[in-house]
């Protein structure tokens, strides 16, 4: 019996030793799950997800972050207390960014432009919105001017020039960033022109709009500040010496008091192209007329979304029937590439008027505006208008 118990003890000892030999440290008893990054890669935003920045670009509050560097900035100006009819353009920057959700740097190539503006060597970021006060227009004008000047005076991000004429046009010979402003009603252009004047002097303006915006005031104007509205800012800008006598409107079709409005408009420094001229003369003639008018001067492009027919862009404060199509406007903008653009804006997007009875109208204007901003970026990058690409097939080029 003794030897039998001894044998059982030996077998037990061997079993225990075998069990402990196969044990693993307590911390490794649970298999570690695979991480998102190792399995799926970077956390990429979908078109319908992520923080709201233009085309999912890098976002920075550039006005407070003095380390933010850029060659081109997108800047929101949510201001609409200069409107004469329907307010709501303070939500324009939001609507344009929302309309840009399907756009992104990685998929930014355009057949029409034959480029991707994000791959041309310039750093482009979204600098957020200017926190404009909606209760005091005098203060709001100063806030917008200071904000624009703050970004305009930043050094460019690139180590070498990204804009051939930039340094030559500036008074101090230093290349500056360029800014695409998202309005906001059209009044925002006055503080922008004030800021640009400090760097470039008077600039020529290419003004896409249904309205002249060169009137000298509205009935009831009794104070100096009440003269400044989204229909009078060019008149004030001319008084302040901000606009060159080589500016031009495109797409005009508004009602006038009479021919005296045209005489006044010319005294402010503008010639104009009507919306009907596109039928009478065609797009190439319009492009040629604009380019001849502004020449080699520093040029600022301001686009009121109401230049587009309200059937295609209804969300605006002062709609006028009979406008151009978004395709026609885009084609004209491509024809302007290579001019000395010092900045650009798109204004008067008021998204509340996009949300009509029919759900298909939702965001139609914001989407059109976002696509035009993408065109602005390509326009800044291009030294000349893109050559129309040949159609596929057997047609000779000279027959197209």
277 is in an annotated binding site: no
What residue ranges do the domains of the chain occupy?
A: 54-381
Mean per-residue pLDDT, 243-248: 97
pLDDT-derived band of residue 11, with 50, 70 and 90 as boundaries?
Answer: low
65 is in an annotated binding site: no
pLDDT, position 148? 98
375 is in an annotated binding site: no
Predicted confidence (pLDDT) at residue 9 exceeds the cutoff of 60:
no
Q: In the beta sheet, which residues pair with residue 126?
A: 59, 74
Average pLDDT along the chain: 90
pLDDT tens profile 26-47: 555 667 789 988 888 888 888 8
Specify whether the CB–CB gap between 122 and 160 falls below 8 A.
no
pLDDT tens profile 261-290: 999 999 999 999 999 999 999 999 999 999
pLDDT-derived band of residue 359, with 50, 70 and 90 as boundaries?
Answer: very low
Residue 48 φ/ψ region, left for φ over 0, alpha for ψ in the -120 to 50 degree band, beta for the rest: alpha
185 is in an annotated binding site: no
Predicted confidence (pLDDT) at residue 91 exceeds the cutoff of 90:
yes
pLDDT tens profile 100-148: 999 988 889 999 999 999 999 999 999 999 999 999 999 999 999 999 9
Rounded Cα distance between 232 and 227, Å, is 7
Mean per-residue pLDDT, 368-397: 85
Predicted confidence (pLDDT) at residue 374 exceeds the cutoff of 60:
yes
- In this structure, what token pair is assigned to residue 355? 């949300």
Of all residues in the chain, the percent with pLDDT exceeding 90 is: 76
Mean per-residue pLDDT, 362-372: 93
Characterize the bridge pairing of strands 270-274 and 299-304. Answer: unpaired
- What residues contact 370, with CB distance under 8 A and at least 6 apart? 54, 55, 96, 97, 99, 100, 103
80 is in an annotated binding site: no
CATH topology of domain 54-381: 3.40.800
Predicted confidence (pLDDT) at residue 169 exceeds the cutoff of 60:
yes
Burial class (CB in 10 A: 0-12, 13-18, 19+), 72: buried
306 is in an annotated binding site: yes
Predicted confidence (pLDDT) at residue 372 exceeds the cutoff of 70:
yes
pLDDT tens profile 276-335: 999 999 999 999 999 999 999 999 999 999 999 999 999 999 999 999 999 999 999 999
């Amino acid at each position: 019996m003794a030897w039998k118990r001894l044998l059982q003890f030996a077998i037990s000892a061997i079993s225990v030793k075998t069990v402990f030999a196969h044990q693993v440290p307590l911390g490794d008893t649970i298999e570690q799950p695979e991480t998102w990054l190792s399995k799926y890669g970077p956390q990429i935003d979908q078109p319908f997800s992520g923080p709201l920045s233009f085309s999912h670009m890098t976002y920075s509050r550039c006005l407070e972050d003095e380390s933010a560097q850029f060659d081109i900035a997108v800047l929101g100006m949510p201001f609409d207390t200069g409107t004469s009819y329907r307010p709501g353009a303070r939500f324009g920057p939001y609507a344009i960014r929302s309309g840009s959700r399907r756009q992104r740097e990685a998929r930014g190539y355009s057949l029409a432009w034959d480029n991707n503006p994000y791959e041309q060597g310039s750093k482009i970021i979204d600098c957020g919105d200017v926190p404009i006060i909606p209760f005091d227009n005098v203060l709001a004008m100063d806030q917008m001017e200071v904000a624009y000047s703050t970004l305009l005076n930043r050094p460019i991000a690139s180590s070498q020039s990204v804009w051939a004429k930039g340094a030559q046009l500036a008074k101090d010979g230093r290349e500056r960033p360029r800014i695409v402003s998202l309005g906001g009603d059209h009044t925002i252009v006055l503080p922008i022109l004030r800021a640009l004047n400090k760097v470039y002097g008077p600039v020529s303006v290419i003004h896409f709009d249904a309205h002249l915006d060169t009137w000298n005031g509205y009935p009831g104007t009794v104070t100096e500040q009440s003269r400044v509205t989204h229909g009078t800012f060019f008149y004030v800008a001319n008084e302040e010496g901000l606009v060159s006598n080589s500016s031009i409107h495109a797409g005009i079709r508004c009602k006038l008091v009479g021919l005296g409005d045209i005489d006044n408009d010319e005294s402010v420094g503008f010639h104009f192209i009507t919306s009907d001229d596109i039928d009478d003369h065609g797009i190439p003639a319009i492009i040629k007329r604009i380019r001849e008018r502004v020449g080699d001067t520093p040029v600022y492009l301001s686009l009121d979304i109401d230049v587009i027919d309200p059937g295609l862009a209804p969300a605006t404060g002062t709609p006028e029937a009979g406008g151009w199509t978004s395709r026609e406007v885009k084609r004209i903008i491509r024809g302007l590439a290579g001019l000395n653009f010092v900045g650009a804006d798109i204004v008067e997007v008021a998204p509340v008027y996009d949300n009509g009875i029919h759900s298909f109208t939702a965001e139609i204007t914001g989407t059109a505006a976002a696509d035009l901003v993408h065109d602005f970026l390509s326009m800044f990058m291009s030294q000349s208008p893109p050559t129309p690409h040949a159609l596929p097939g057997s047609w000779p080029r000279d027959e197209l």
